[in-house]
Structure 1
Amino acid sequence: MIALSLAEIAAVVGGQTHDIPDPSVQVTGQVVRDSREVEPGSLFVAFAGERVDGHDFAAAVVEAGAVAVLASRPVGVPAIVVDDVQRALGALARHVVRKLGATLVALTGSAGKTSTKDLIAQVLRHKAPTVFTPGSLNNEIGLPLTALSATEETRFLVLEMGARGIGHIRYLAELTPPRIGLVINVGTAHIGEFGGREQIAQAKGELVEALPAEADGGTAILNADDPLVRAMAARTKAKVIFFGESGEADVRAENVRLTDRGQPAFRLHTPSGASDVTMRLYGEHHVSNALAAAAVAHELGMSADEIATALSEAGSLSRWRMEVTERPDGVTIVNDAYNANPESMRAALRALAAMGTAAQAKGGRTWAVLGKMAELGDEALAEHDAVGRLAVRLNVGKLVAVGGREASWLQLGAYNEGSWGEESVHVSDAQAAVDLLRSELRPGDVVLVKASRSVGLESVAQALLATGAEGEVSAR
C-alpha cells in the first residue's frame, strides 16, 4: 500500500484510535486479513467470522510487526476502531485508489473472469507495472484488499468483480471506480440465485453504468457475440469497444483453430493492425478471453504486435484452471476443478476433445471426470443432462460422474445419448473415482477433472498426479 499515517487512515474510515501513542506512525506494508501474512509495517484487518475472530490475533500480529489493527472493538494493542470493519476497508480502498492515479480496469462476467483477468494483467505488464486480483478474490473484501496492494509505481489496477445479486457490482464499483469496464459474457452461473439470465445481465451491466462518460475517459468493452452483453451499450455514456469473432467487432479473431495439443491460434485484428497469436493455454474458449484482453490493451495504447506477443507468452496464473500436467508414464491430467458452470463445462469438454486427437495417435483415450455444477436452481437437471449428452457427442472416451444426484443426471444424459456399457459410470465419491482411474489408466490417456468448487474434485487430480510421481496416494 502507499504509505499512510494512522491518523489519516482513522480520518478516512471514520474510526477512533486506541492505544496508539503516535498517530503519525505510517502503515508502509500490506493491508491483510490473514494473520499469517503480516509483515513489518502492515495494517491487520480483524474480521469476526463464524469460526475465527480476527480480534483474537491482535496481540500476535502487532508482535509480528503490524503497525495497528483495524477493528470493531478495542483490542489492547494499537487499533483504529470502527463500527463496520468491512465498510471501513472499502472506504480506505476508495481513498487509496483516488490518491494513486492509476488506470483502473474492472471486469465481470458469468464465466472466464479469472482467466481473462490473468490475461489482461500479463499483457499490461509488458507496458507498465500492474496490480491485479489474485485468484478469485472478487468480493467486497477481496477487491479492496487487492486495491490496497497497489503502490506508487502501479500504473494499471485490474480488478475482477463478482456478484451474488443485484447491486453487488454497483457497490464494488463505488469502492474502486473504474475507467475501463469489461463485461465478458452473461451465462447461467448462479442462475438459481438470480432467477434468470436477464437478471444476471441486469447485475453485470451495473459495471458499465458506473463508468465515466466518454468525454471523461470512460470506456466500456463489450462482447459482440453475446446479445445480452452487446445490449449493455445502451446503458452507458462511456465509449464502447466491441470484441468477438463477429465481423462487426472492433477487436476480433479470424482463422480460429486449435493445435494438436488443444491450444488456440488465430489472427488478431485491432483498429491499429493485425497479428498472429498462438496461445499456451488450452481450449478454444480462451480465444474470447484473449480478445477481451486485447481490447483492453488496445484502449491503453498497445499495438497489435505487442498484444499478440504478450498473449502468446501468457500462461495460467490461477490454480486448478485447465492446469495440464503430463505424468512420467505418459498420462496427462487436466485439472480444471476450481469451479464449474454449464458454459465452462462445455468449454472444458471441447478442449478435452481437441486434446484427444493427439492422444488417440498415441493409443490413448479421453476421460471426463465430472461432478456437480452448483447454484443452477430449476435448471439443474436439464443442464447436467445436457453436459452428459455433450460428452458423448464429442466422442469423449470415458465419462466418470462423481457424487450424488447431479452426478447421476450427468451419467443418465450420457446413457440416453448412446453411452452404454463401460463408456460412462457413476461413482459415489472422489476416492471411488481415484480407485477406478488407477486401475484403468494407460499411457497416452488424457483425464479432465471438473466440478463446482464445493465438490472438491481437485483431490482426484492431485491423487492421480501423486500416483504417477510417487506411487499410490489416497484422495481426501
Structure 2
Amino acid sequence: MMALTLAQLAAAVDGALIAPDDAALADPTHTVDGPVETDSRLVVPGALFFAMRGENTNGGLFAEAAVANGAVLVFTEERLALPVPQIVVADTLYALAALARAVVAEVRAAGTLRVVGITGSNGKTTTKNMLRAILSAQGPTVAPQGSYNNQVGAPYTMLRIDEKTRFLVVEMGASGIGDIARLIGIVVPDISVVLKVGLAHAGEFGGIEATQRAKSEIVTQLPADAVAVLNRDDERVAAMAVLTAARPVWFGLDPEADLSADDLRATSAGTSFTLLVDGLRLPVNLRILGEHHVMNALAALAVARELGVDITEAISALEGVERAERWRMEILTRADGVTVINDAYNASPDSMAAALKTLAQIIEPGQRSVAILGEMNNLGDYADDEHDRIGRLAVRLNVQQLIVVGHRARHIHNAAGLEGSWDGESVLVETADEAYDLVNSRLRAGDVVLVKSSNAAGLRFLGDRLGEVQA
C-alpha cells in the first residue's frame, strides 16, 4: 500500500485512532506502508490488519495473532488490548472500502494510474490473468490473485497499489443487484469490460434479467471519457451500450466488432485463432485450452489496445500465458498416457457446455473421451432443467464415458440415459472417492478426462488425484 500516516488512515475511514503506551507508536504522523490483510495467517511484519466481523466469527479474536505475526496497525469495531495502534470504526467492511477509495484517489492524483474493471457471468478470472500478463510487460500492474472480486476481495486488491502502479485490474463480481454499484462507488474504472450475461448464480439474482441489470452497473456510472468494452455477440451485453455515456468498444466473433476472430481451432496443445483488428489479420496461438477463451482473449486485447499497448506485444504476452488459472482448464498429463483436464473450480451452464465441447473437439482418432461431472450451484429454479440439458449435450457430443457425482447432479445422468440408448456409458456415484475408483479402473492410455463442477462439489481435488503420475 502507499505510505500514509496514522492520522491520514484514521481520517480516511472516519475512525478513532487509539494509541498504545509506547510514545513512538502513538505519534499520529507515524507512517505505515505495509500490505493490508484480513486474514491473520497472512500477516507479515509491517502489515495492517482488518479485524473483519463475519457472519460466524469476530475478526477481533484474531487480532493478537495478527500482531504476533507482525501487524503494526489494527482496524477494529471495538477497542482491544493491543501493543500497537488501532483505529476503531463503526463497520470494518465500510472502512475497508473507504480506505481503498482514498488510496486509489491519492494514487490517481499523484501519477498515471489507469483502472480496468471486469465483470461477466463467466471468464472474469481468465481475462484478468490475460490482462495482467499483457500489462505487466508495460509497467507496474496490480491484479487480484484467484477470484478476489467481492466486497472484501476487490478493495483488498485495490489496496495493493502504490505511487508506482501504472495499471490496476479489478474483478467485479456480484451475487445480487447493487453489489457492483458498491464497488463502482469505490473506484470508477477508466475502462469497464462486460464479458457475458449467463445463468451463473441466476438463483441468487432471481433470473437472467436481474443478472443483466446487476452486470450493467459496471458501465452505467462511467463518464464520457471512459470506455465500455462490450461483447457484441451477447445481446444482453450489447444492450448495455445505451446505458452508458462511455464510448463502446466491441469484441466478438461478429465481423462488425472492433476486434473479432475467425479460423478458431482447439487442440490439446491450446487454442488458435486469427485476430481481425484495424484492418489487420494476426495469428494468435494461446496455450490455454478451449475455444471459449478466445472471447476472453479478445476482451483483453481490446483493453490493451485502448491503453495504447502495441497489438503485437499484447499478442506475444497472451501467448505466454500457460493456463487460465489453477483448476480452470488445467491440463495434467500422466506418465501412462492419460490426459486430465481439471476444470472444477467453478461451473455454470455456459462454462459446463463449453468444457464439454472442448473435450469433444480435442479428441484424436483412437482416443476416448471421459467426463466426470458434478453439480452446478446457485441455479435456483433453473437447476433441474440446466443439469438435464448438460446430460443431453454430453450424449450429443459423443462423450464415451460419463460419470456423474452426487445426488444433486443426478439430472445429468438421468437425461443422458433418456437421450440415447446407452449401456453403462453413464454412471451415477455418490462420492468423489467412488468416482476415482471407478474411472481409474476403466482408464487406458490415450484417454482424455474432463473433471468439471462447481467449487462446492470439491471435484477439483478429484482432478488433482486423477492427474497424479501413474506408474
TM-score, normalised with respect to structure 2: 0.95
Asked if 1:397 is matched to 2:400, the reply is yes
* 1:407 match: 409
Give the C-alpha shift of residue 356 in structure 1: 1.5
8 Å Cα contact 2:120/2:215 also seen in 1:
yes
* 1:123 match: 134
Distance in 2 between residues matched to 1:277 and 1:346, nearest whole Å: 24
Give the C-alpha shift of residue 139 in structure 1: 0.5
* 1:445 match: 447
Asked if 1:319 is matched to 2:299, the reply is no
Asked if 1:43 is matched to 2:54, the reply is no
Q: Secondary structure at the match of 1:80?
A: strand
Identity across the alignment (%): 48
* 1:351 match: 358
| One-letter amino acid matched to 2:224 | A
| One-letter amino acid matched to 1:47 | M
Asked if 1:60 is matched to 2:49, the reply is no
8 Å Cα contact 1:220/1:240 also seen in 2:
yes
Distance in 2 between residues matched to 1:323 and 1:436, nearest whole Å: 22
Distance in 2 between residues matched to 1:131 and 1:272, nearest whole Å: 32
CA deviations 1:159-178 (Å, max 9, x no partner) are 00011111111111111221
CA deviations 1:309-342 (Å, max 9, x no partner) are 1221122263111110101111111111101000
Distance in 2 between residues matched to 1:76 and 1:17, nearest whole Å: 14
Distance 1:99 1:25, change over 3 A: same
Q: Secondary structure at the match of 1:373?
A: coil
Q: Which of 13, 25, 32 is the aligned partner of 1:27? A: 32
Asked if 1:162 is matched to 2:173, the reply is yes
| One-letter amino acid matched to 1:54 | G
| One-letter amino acid matched to 1:336 | D
8 Å Cα contact 2:266/2:362 also seen in 1:
no
Give the C-alpha shift of residue 51 in structure 1: 4.3
8 Å Cα contact 2:288/2:324 also seen in 1:
no
Distance in 1 between residues matched to 2:279 and 2:30, nearest whole Å: 49
8 Å Cα contact 1:194/1:200 also seen in 2:
yes
Q: Which of 256, 262, 265 is the aligned partner of 2:264? A: 256
Distance in 2 between residues matched to 1:281 and 1:60, nearest whole Å: 40
8 Å Cα contact 1:272/1:304 also seen in 2:
no
8 Å Cα contact 1:321/1:336 also seen in 2:
yes
Q: Secondary structure at the match of 2:185?
A: helix
Give the C-alpha shift of residue 262 in structure 1: 5.8
* 1:109 match: 120
Distance in 2 between residues matched to 1:171 and 1:452, nearest whole Å: 26
Give the C-alpha shift of residue 271 in structure 1: 2.6
1:235-254 pair list within 5 angstroms? 235-254=243-262
Give the C-alpha shift of residue 64 in structure 1: 2.4
* 2:425 match: 423
Which range is displaced more, 19-28 or 146-155? 19-28
Calculate the aligned-residue CA RMSD, in Å: 1.4
Q: Secondary structure at the match of 2:157?
A: helix
Q: Which of 207, 222, 225 is the aligned partner of 2:233? A: 225
1:125-204 pair list within 5 angstroms? 125-204=136-215
Give the C-alpha shift of residue 59 in structure 1: 2.4
CA deviations 1:401-432 (Å, max 9, x no partner) are 1000x322001111111151121111111111
TM-score, normalised with respect to structure 1: 0.94
The number of residues matched between the two structures is: 460
Distance in 1 between residues matched to 2:317 and 2:415, nearest whole Å: 40
Distance in 2 between residues matched to 1:100 and 1:316, nearest whole Å: 31
| One-letter amino acid matched to 1:250 | D
Distance in 1 between residues matched to 2:382 and 2:458, nearest whole Å: 22
Q: Which runs of 5+ in 1 are unaligned?
A: 472-476
Asked if 1:386 is matched to 2:376, the reply is no
Give the C-alpha shift of residue 397 in structure 1: 1.1
Distance 1:54 1:317, change over 3 A: farther
CA deviations 1:133-192 (Å, max 9, x no partner) are 111110010000000011222101000001111111111111122110000010011111
Q: Secondary structure at the match of 1:205?
A: helix
* 1:474 match: none
Distance in 1 between residues matched to 2:46 and 2:31, nearest whole Å: 8
* 2:466 match: 464
Distance in 2 between residues matched to 1:65 and 1:371, nearest whole Å: 42
Give the C-alpha shift of residue 196 in structure 1: 2.0
Which range is displaced more, 165-174 or 265-274? 265-274
Distance in 1 between residues matched to 2:208 and 2:57, nearest whole Å: 36
